[in-house]
Structure 1
């Protein structure tokens, strides 16, 4: 059945009440809360690898560059994006400034300055899931209507997903200050990095990094993550986890219900969290293949950008 409007909930953000209930029944979960400094080593490795790949690919034909970006660069960039996500929750170091520094480093091969802005908007997503003017992850009405239910429309939506998400930020201008000192620093660092790549290695090197970035969050099996997390693929269940093999590469980013319930638990502890409270997670709908989900999103007319739960209630209901 083709959806022509968002589903609607009169309840508040669904995870706060779950968290309270789960921690009461499984107090041992508190032992999983903490930080993981190993993530910083992952950042350094991925930044170095993606930068060296840009160097190695600077003189290749464009089609080899595209293949490398799709098969290698997209995965490295997505891992870095997950690392930026960990930094936004201060899950690497105790010191907030060190987490910010780590996020700026992780941002380097992603071309566009996004790590500082991501933290601002992402924390709102956790607190106000599904509220259009507070949740940058929530599509807008115009967006869903424009994309429609066609395979081409949904494919273009995913292909240009970074651009689509950037257009959502204007609606949150009353809640979040878009430009500040750290945002400017983020942009200055990226300009220096990109300029250095172009000056020393040429345009093909930076084009590889740019294409890798768009594939990492767009028209690629990894792009199905945006459908997996909060699209209504299992009835009215708002948040879904992914328990497939790519969690090994992408730092358990698929454990999304677990993460929303306990955002202070770092990525390496999320499988333990799942095992600690299996009755809260194994009964929920989930995904095991990003590729299958990507194809379903593209070709199933019953699944569209309208397949989301909207709300306007900010506070607790109990």
Structure 2
């Protein structure tokens, strides 16, 4: 079987703005779901507390406990914290933007590396310019797709080191995003002080536990299959965003409802299932996933799936071939998601 050697290039606009407009027209009551959920701060405090407590418990235990505890406990707590940072990036906790940024910095603490403020900067670009390499940090670079392609070992390593891979994408966005400011510096200072404190009191086992937990939470783990679920072409080339309707949405804070989230990024995590309930006719016909474990295995071993299995575009989401479609896109609101 021949390998894929390019992304699925599209000249059409990303699908979500158009569907949002249609749903709002058919179900105007869905606007009542837009808002914030300040109680998410308690989830942040719980998960930070779990990771700090586990660091203390494990610092005096055998090294053999580090790996299983990271995989079965730490990965889940860290993944939930990453979703909380995602909520903060959309200002879905508090009305005040600074409070959301501070909440994200708090959630970042057990994740070892300072990333919450940077994520806040580039994530909204992902919503506005889905699939455009220089603006969407979620879009794989050509070099990584070419390097990994559909090799099982390559895909496993790509997922295992996914945080590093994603960090390499940020440089291509530097022309449009100011990567360093006082908030980023604060994020770095707070994170360094936290990790030095952990090391001072509990030494290397605690640091290794947090680090391994972080890499599992977004890497080679069923939870890491979320990166495949969201935008990989697992249901043909036409549908570039898929939702996940399964039990791990409890840990994911419903971010598995990913079509729903992209359509309505101003609706907090606890109300995402309500979107599907209200506007089910728009979502029931779309492909979706119900098992992250099955999807992880499929991605690793299915030669038809590779890092090239993504839809790419280079025209900032506007179609050039279809005049009617262009007029529809031009009539939509500004592409920056409402906050």
Residue 83 of structure 1 is matched in structure 2 by 84
Query: Number of matched residues?
Result: 318
In the alignment, the residues of structure 2 paired with residue 222 and residue 60 of structure 1 have an alpha-carbon distance, to the nearest angstrom, of: 26
Deviations 1:37-77 (A, max 9, x none): 11011001111111111100112222211100000000000
The Cα of 1:315 is off from its aligned counterpart by 4.9
In the alignment, the residues of structure 2 paired with residue 309 and residue 249 of structure 1 have an alpha-carbon distance, to the nearest angstrom, of: 27
Residue 254 of structure 2 is matched in structure 1 by 252
Residue 121 of structure 1 is matched in structure 2 by 122
Query: Cα RMSD between the aligned structures?
Result: 0.9
In the alignment, the residues of structure 2 paired with residue 118 and residue 146 of structure 1 have an alpha-carbon distance, to the nearest angstrom, of: 25
Structure 1: stretches of 5+ with no match in the other structure: none
Equivalent residues in 2 for 1:100-119, closer than 5 Å: 100-119=101-120
Aligned pair partner of 1:281 in 277, 280, 283: 283
The Cα of 1:210 is off from its aligned counterpart by 0.4
2:169 aligns to what SS in structure 1? helix
- Go from structure 1 to structure 2 and tell me whether the alpha carbon gap of 1:153 and 1:315 turns closer, same or farther (over 3 Å shift): closer
Residue 215 of structure 1 is matched in structure 2 by 216
Residue 67 of structure 2 is matched in structure 1 by 66
Deviations 1:111-136 (A, max 9, x none): 10000000111000000000010000
Q: Structure 1 length as normaliser, TM-score?
A: 0.99
Residue 132 of structure 1 is matched in structure 2 by 133
The Cα of 1:248 is off from its aligned counterpart by 1.3
Residue 30 of structure 2 is matched in structure 1 by 29
In the alignment, the residues of structure 1 paired with residue 246 and residue 98 of structure 2 have an alpha-carbon distance, to the nearest angstrom, of: 33
Residue 195 of structure 2 is matched in structure 1 by 194
Equivalent residues in 2 for 1:144-155, closer than 5 Å: 144-155=145-156
Deviations 1:196-223 (A, max 9, x none): 0000111100110000000000000000
Structure 2: stretches of 5+ with no match in the other structure: 319-325, 329-339
After the TM superposition, which parts of structure 1 deviate over 6 Å for at least 4 consecutive aligned residues? none
In the alignment, the residues of structure 2 paired with residue 167 and residue 315 of structure 1 have an alpha-carbon distance, to the nearest angstrom, of: 23
The Cα of 1:148 is off from its aligned counterpart by 2.1
Does structure 1 residue 241 correspond to structure 2 residue 222? no
Instruction: Tell me if the contact between 2:16 and 2:263 (Cα under 8 Å) persists in the aligned partners.
Output: yes
Deviations 1:73-105 (A, max 9, x none): 000000000000000000011111111111010
Decide which moves more: 54-63 or 189-198. Answer: 54-63
